[in-house]
Amino acid sequence: MSVRLPVSLSAYRLLTRAATPLANHFLKRRLAKGKELEPRIAERRGETRIARPDGPLIWVHGASVGEMLAVLPLIERIKARGFGVLVTSGTVTSAALARQRLPHGAIHQFVPLDTPGFVDKFLDHWKPSLALFVESDLWPNLILSSAQRSVPMILLNGRLSERSFARWQKMPCTIEALLQKFDLCLARTHTDASRFSELGAPRLSVVGNLKLDVPQLPVDESKLKELSIALTGRTVIAGASTHPGEEKTMIEVHTRLKSQFPQLITMIVPRHPERGAEIAALAHEPGLACMQRSHGKLPERTTDIYVCDTLGELGIFYRLAPVVFMGGSLVHHGGQNPIEAIKLGAAVLHGPFIANFAEIYAALDGAKGADLVADATRLAQRAGLWLKDSEERNRVVTAGQKTVASLGGALERTLAALDPYLMQLRLGNQTDA
């Protein structure tokens, strides 16, 4: 017996259906802003030229780069078991990552715009056997149409920030109707699980954070060697995954530290590489020498700020910077994932706004495996200390790596939770054969 939808979801479906004729105009605007890829624009309408592979197909959906990085090891394990894998995401940067990092045979598509017609085209073509939604990217039509087709759905690495939780509390019937469609919710933390439970998720399990189990970032050895040679004799710090406002702070930190470290170079890796020129302009204002990596240039001996506005190269920068400030934490964003930098031997600094990774940073700070800096003054003081005192810096790195190792295990627990579903699909496929 079908369950009647809340008025809010019924209205959403009607409105998105009515808005479908506006989709091409919307997509053209996004294309002009560099937020879509023209050769693949049809995927946003649920269309594709790629054939569905035979057999059970596991569909994994995550919003962008962070979600995809979190589930890459899981995708590799599922693919190794012989299942077809379809991965969807919504950003150009995640598509680039998929091209570089997905295992052979896994298919990437842009997620369709959330209108009933586009979603139906997508589902009618791909006919997923199991849907795995990553973290909190919950599109109503995608969920409701999948449920209508009896596609089992599981929420992976489930998280709800305090802000999202408060927002959903204002629409309790809406979120409960969506969460009730999920067979299982695998939450990162007990806090996340409590929030999902309060909002109506029926079946919950706390398995830990998949982002703690990501392997070391890969690296192009020739590019690593090339940049390493260019940085020979230089004192290096980095600001990683920075957001607007934080680049100015990193430039101020560089100016404060340069008198102590005449050979200092600061690498700024923006969260959104298209902001490279904007950041370079900020560096030029106080008269600093700046170069952009996207222009194909290596830093020179006089370069102060090296804007690393490229994709897929964090593995290089983390290996070369002994001290890394993790962005998204001096502005109200919620912080960025420090795990990859720590695994590659960087001593990590972060700001106070870290709600997206609160438990991880709390464990790291408590073990003295990272440090909180509230402003440019504190950031410069702590970075300067660690650059001078390699023994202290190494103690921080060791404590950070031990903490990360102790918090791991989410990948195996997630696989164990998925095993009954995968086994059922395998048995069903054998019966059909």
Q: What's the one-letter identity of residue 334?
A: G
Which pairing describes strands 235-242 and 323-326: parallel, antiparallel, or unpaired? parallel
SS3 of residue 401 by DSSP: helix
Residue 67 designated active-site: yes
Q: What's the one-letter identity of residue 356?
A: N
Q: How far apart are CA 264 and CA 305, in angstroms?
A: 9
Backbone dihedral angles phi then psi of residue 406, each to the nearest 5 degrees: -70, -25
Per the DSSP assignment, residues forming a β-bridge with 134 are 156
Rounded to the nearest angstrom, the gap between the alpha carbon of residue 177 and the centroid of all alpha carbons in its chain is 26
Q: How far apart are CA 335 and CA 325, in angstroms?
A: 11
Per the DSSP assignment, residues forming a β-bridge with 158 are 187
Q: What's the one-letter identity of residue 345?
A: G
- Nearest to 44, CA basis, from 129, 134, 102, 118: 118
A 10 A CB-CB count for 173 gives 13
Q: How far apart are CA 123 and CA 143, in angstroms?
A: 11
Helix (H) or strand (E) holding 130: strand 130-134
Which pairing describes strands 57-61 and 84-89: parallel, antiparallel, or unpaired? parallel
For residues 163 and 183, the answer to whether their CB atoms sit within 8 Å is no
Which pairing describes strands 204-206 and 84-89: parallel, antiparallel, or unpaired? unpaired
Which pairing describes strands 305-307 and 264-270: parallel, antiparallel, or unpaired? parallel
SS3 of residue 76 by DSSP: helix
For residues 210 and 71, the answer to whether their CB atoms sit within 8 Å is yes
SS3 of residue 389 by DSSP: coil
For residues 371 and 349, the answer to whether their CB atoms sit within 8 Å is yes
Out of 43, 67, 135, 313, the active site residue is 67
Q: What's the one-letter identity of residue 187?
A: A
Q: Catalytic positions, please?
A: 67
